[in-house]
Amino acid sequence: MSERICEGKVALVTGASQGGTGTAIAVRLAAEGAKVAITARTVAGLEETRSRIEELGGECLVLPLDLSDPTAGRAGLVAATEDAFGPLDILVNNAAVNGYVPFTEVTPEDLERNLQVNVWAPWELMKAAVPGMRERGRGAVLNLTSFAAELPPGPPFPTNKPATGGFQYGASKAALNRLTVAAASETHGQGIAVNALTPQAAIATPALVEAGWIKGPMFEPLETMAEAALALCTGDPDMLTGRIAFSLQLLVELQRPVLDLHGEALVEGWQPADIPAVIRRQEADLAESGWPDAYTFGRPHSPLP
């Protein structure tokens, strides 16, 4: 077996109980040799993830906790991980609350929950993790973000989500993006990478597949997200930091082979040579709903005089 790139490292992954992105990233890190602590509310789901990691011969610590509750002790997750496994090398803030309703229908409770899980919890965990990373001169923080944070072009405005009905989710993820870049700038040159990762399209999680939402070109497999996450968590921190990276575009930029979650086999149809055609199909689909050139991530504005 070739040397595993996370051998001897310790990781903490939030939101790893539903078999989706957090689970995939936790398993992929473990397959590369990391000891992984996982947290979420659902104990049964966390135990399923732990079983998958242990089947690979990895070590996993289950830390059940409700990240939406600021009094539940979320800032102590880093210390609990380090007590069990040693100094933390990788923090992945994946847990999220979403929701798409008109802004006039958002309740204070909805907004509070989005902000607590999507902004406050990552911020507190980063504050707990970064000082130790600074002392050791190494570390990586990855925040999972969303296309919903992008500003839809208009008028006329796109007719699809997240252009419509995504205020509270998009606003919280936009704040997370700003936090990411701030932390990257404040830790640059200290051996720490801080990045955010956005799925290029809907991730084919078990829940979405079962609900029948994965149709047409607007999806990507869990493996592309896990591979992009691994790249951002193990890249050169002097160069690959401060990114709000879009998964498929990042994989093409880095010419990164996409492996299965065990790190053993290439995923057919999702290699760097395959992905540009996928992105073009996704762009065309978004353009049909009124969001042209969606992946240029630009917005018309008044020109510089």
Among the options 169, 219, 246, 270, which is catalytic?
169
Q: Give whole-number Cα distances, 114 to 107, 118, 294, 296, in Å.
A: 11, 6, 25, 27
The CA-based angle 121-123-126, given to 5 degrees, is 110
The CA-based angle 175-80-3, given to 5 degrees, is 85
Say how far apart CA 64 and CA 43 lie, in whole Å: 6
- For tokens 């242990």, the residue is 54
Q: Give whole-number Cα distances, 96 to 147, 153, 191, 200, in Å.
A: 13, 25, 27, 17
Q: Give whole-number Cα distances, 251 to 57, 113, 237, 272, 273, in Å.
A: 27, 32, 17, 6, 10
- For tokens 């990762």, the residue is 197
Q: Is residue 295 annotated as a catalytic residue, yes or no?
A: no
Q: Residue 207 is which amino acid? A: A
The CA-based angle 224-227-233, given to 5 degrees, is 140
Say how far apart CA 41 and CA 206 lie, in whole Å: 18
Q: Are the CB atoms for 81 and 31 separated by under 8 Å?
A: no
Say how far apart CA 62 and CA 39 lie, in whole Å: 6
Q: Where in the sequence numbering do the catalytic residues fall? A: 169
